[in-house]
Structure 1
Amino acid sequence: MKKIILSMVAGAVFMVSCGPKSTAVTGPKYTASEQLVQGKTIFENSCAKCHKLPDPAKHDDQGWIKTLSRMAPKAKLNDEQHQMVYDYLISVNKK
């Protein structure tokens, strides 16, 4: 019985450790112009590979959080790149 319980616990820990990391963007982090320029470059180079670039005014800040949370993994952005793109978009967003 102990082996079964121990196996189930080990399996659950393994499954959780293999899941996606949830280091989602929750708000702005970078404000320096250098990071915003990097965010723009990443946005233009990564997003345009698959589709036309969306207008930054298309979403408000929360809308970009949702959109980028869905699209950043597809674009293979790391957490820092994800944050820089978000910060760039909200810096030029008029909403």
Structure 2
Amino acid sequence: MKSKILILAAVTLLLVSCGTQKTASVATTEPVPVFDTTKTVALTPELEAGKNLYENSCARCHKLYDAKKFTQEEWKPILTRMQKKAKLDDTQMASISNYITSQL
């Protein structure tokens, strides 16, 4: 009886795994153009320092937001509020602010 149940379970598993296979999509002959909408900015040492501060200070408490998620006007109060929580001085905050502005 146990062997019949095991055989039935194996056959069922085989049928289910074969029945859920996805069909391969047909490749098109024309290449699809890919547009890079991200703006890449070569980071100066000052901007690199701001990036490091942003990544290390802000990521301690929450996920990092893409700079383009907010406008420059929206970033100002966010950074001011977070400066107090992250215990950053004005120089560090200016460095982070310059980095974020460079990414907009």
- From 46, 55, 72, the equivalent of 1:61 is 72
Q: Counterparts of 2:69 and 2:83 in 1: how far apart (Å)?
A: 17
5+ unaligned residues in a row in structure 1: which ranges?
1-31
Higher radius of gyration, 1 or 2: 2
- TM-score between both structures, scaled by the size of structure 1: 0.62
Select the residue among 53, 59, 67 that pairs with 1:48: 59
- TM superposition outliers: structure 1 runs of 4+ over 2 Å: none
Identity among equivalent positions (%) equals 42
2:50 matched to which residue of 1? Answer: 39
2:84 counterpart SS class: coil
Distance 2:83 2:45 in 1: 20
Which runs of 5 or more structure 2 residues have no equivalent in the other structure? 1-42
Q: Does 1:86 align with 2:97?
A: yes
What secondary structure, in the 3-state scheme, does the structure 2 residue paired with 1:74 have?
helix
Higher relative contact order (CA 8 A, sep 6+): 1
Q: Write the letter of the residue equivalent to 1:80.
A: T
